Structure 1
Amino acid sequence: MGRRSDHSRVELEELILSTGSAVMAETGLAGFSAREVARRIGYSIGTIHHVFGTADRLIAAINTRSFADWAASLRERLDAAGPDGDRIAALVAGYFGFAREHPHRWTAIFDHRLPADGGLTEADETGRGLLTQIVVEEIARAAGGEVDDDIATLSRSLIATVHGHCAFAISGAWALMGEAAPEAAALARVREALAARSAR
């Protein structure tokens, strides 16, 4: 396919990212193809390499977009819960909800590995940190304290706990073990950890 110049670089980057996210949602990481993204937008594969450098960098950017969408969905659930609602339950439901609604995009976040010489950009790090920051702020709120190193460490541990439950649920492993309510189990573990901290 010949070169085109219908879009500015900023417009082209957004077109590639939005189309790439759609392809990832359909195929998952295993079936993802930068060439398919190029075909859908009507540009050459060289254009994608010109904008993102490599297919790995494109996938990293798509995953950062997924993190942003995931963080936005968490905020929506927290807004719906309101200041006096069960915000911890909203967090856990938001974690599971995005994974269930976008299983290929969610799985790609954790399955993709950049090569050793191609780490995340500063923009990627910032975008991916939004979700963790939301959790840290909510855990601090639930614990009745300020955000500090202790709260940040606890929050990361709770993310790992919920993630494990969620990953098993998405893969079907929970069902094989006879667990019918992995989300409820994850929420229970989070509440137990918060109660243990309060009792110290």
Structure 2
Amino acid sequence: MGRRSDHTRDELRRLIIAEGHRLLAETGLARFSGREVAKRAGYTVGTIYNVFGSLDRLLVTLNSHTFRLWAEFLERRLAVSPPDRIRTLVEAYFAFARDHTHAWSAIYEHRVSAELFDAVDHDSRTALTAIVDREVRSAIPSGGDLDMPRFVRSLIATVHGHCSYALGGTFTLLEEIDPAASALARVRECLAAHGYRPPD
């Protein structure tokens, strides 16, 4: 039986997000079920549509939640990191993806119209890039004429590509034994072209 009167709308939203994210982390996007989320929350599947409007909108919200968790994870790692913060960033990227593979993969597997994204989703998703941007600007003494936003996006894509290959098994087939180290090397090469020197 549903508990439709047990929670306020805000409480219900938080409950569905918590249960939905837990399910997404367990099953991945391919086996994700709105009906199962509703069941775990103790409501009918119609409640999800009443609160979020659609299953796609719920998934956008869940992926934005993953981005927030990811940004918090990076900040925690950086808060206790040794001087080599670029290494910390790259290794933390791999660590989060490895430890939350289904939720991390769902970010890139779920493709929907930008109309489903609101300001909160945008802020959640740009927070991660902002952390990388901050650290890269700090690592390069003078950016000069460098288009920093494009440069940062390219660095993220480099690390992401290595991480995807690692988690998907492609690097195993290619006999790459340390994808994170390779990603770090590529990032350092790009940064070194603009004056970066890794700490001793």
Q: 2:106 aligns with which of 89, 105, 108?
A: 108
Mapping 1:69-148, distance limit 5 Å: 69-81=69-81, 85-114=83-112, 116=113, 118-145=115-142
Deviation at residue 2 of structure 1 after TM alignment: 4.4
Q: 1:91 to 1:148 in 2, by over 3 A?
A: farther
Identify the structure with the greater helix proportion: 1
Contact 1:35 1:45 in 2 (8 A): yes
- Secondary structure, in 3 states, of the residue corresponding to 2:7? coil
Deviations for 1:60-103, whole angstroms, at most 9, x for unmatched residues? Answer: 00000000000000001100115xx1100010011101100000
Mapping 1:152-167, distance limit 5 Å: 152-167=149-164
TM-score using structure 1 length: 0.93
Deviations for 1:90-141, whole angstroms, at most 9, x for unmatched residues? Answer: 1001110110000000000000011x48431111011110000000000000
Q: What residue in structure 1 maps to residue 169 of structure 2?
A: 172
Contact 2:60 2:116 in 1 (8 A): no
Q: Which moved more, 1:98-107 or 1:4-13?
A: 4-13
Q: Given residue 135 of structure 1, which amino acid in structure 2 is its aligned partner?
A: V
Contact 1:166 1:183 in 2 (8 A): yes
1:150 aligns with 2:150: no
Question: Any stretches of 5+ residues in structure 2 without a counterpart?
Answer: none
Contact 2:142 2:195 in 1 (8 A): no
Q: 1:4 to 1:119 in 2, by over 3 A?
A: closer
Q: Given residue 141 of structure 1, which amino acid in structure 2 is its aligned partner?
A: S
Distance 1:120 1:13 in 2: 16
Distance 1:192 1:77 in 2: 23
Question: Any stretches of 5+ residues in structure 1 without a counterpart?
Answer: none
Q: What residue in structure 2 maps to residue 193 of structure 1?
A: 190
Q: Given residue 113 of structure 1, which amino acid in structure 2 is its aligned partner?
A: R
Number of equivalent positions:
196
The alignment's C-alpha RMSD in Å is 1.8
TM-score using structure 2 length: 0.93
Q: Percent identity?
A: 50
Q: 1:99 to 1:148 in 2, by over 3 A?
A: farther
